[in-house]
Amino acid sequence: MKKHIIGFGIMSSILFANVAIEEIDSMVEEIKAPRKGVALKQLSSTLNPFVAIQKETNTTVSSVTKKVYAKLTLSGIMNNKAYINGEWHSEGDSVSDYNLTHIGTRGVVLVKKNKIKKLFLHENDGIIKMKDDR
């Protein structure tokens, strides 16, 4: 019984496949047939379907200047020199528009006009400290 049902299913799918192929062939033949398009004269007299809308803008452009401050990072101090932002500096050097005025054992002082900036080394930053055995 199962063989008859399977056989019937296969036969019907073959028959329907042949019909589908014939339908596809007829559609392809219809597509191949030359079609009449719009004459160029008629096409040139048609209106543009795209409309450009221009908004009136009465806005005043103002620019806001933001002061960007460079981040200063003190990474180390050794032999009266400070390692700030990846470079070694001595007292009197210019560091990002600041003047390095003092180098201590745990920090530095930077001055710019009437602004004073103090940078410190921190114990928990993983900085290696060397002790003098004298």
pLDDT of 38-65, one tens digit each? 777 887 788 877 777 777 776 676 677 7
pTM of the model: 0.42
Q: Could you say which DSSP state residue 69 is in? A: P
In Å, the largest CA–CA distance within the chain is: 105
- H or E segment to which residue 95 belongs: strand 94-95
CA distance 24 to 42: 34
Q: Using alpha carbons only, what angle is made at residue 123 by residues 120 and 126, rounded to the nearest 5 degrees?
A: 105
Chain segment 61-80, per-residue pLDDT in tens: 667 776 666 688 888 898 88
CB 71 within 8 A of CB 77: no
Alpha helices in 1-134 (DSSP H): 2-32, 40-44
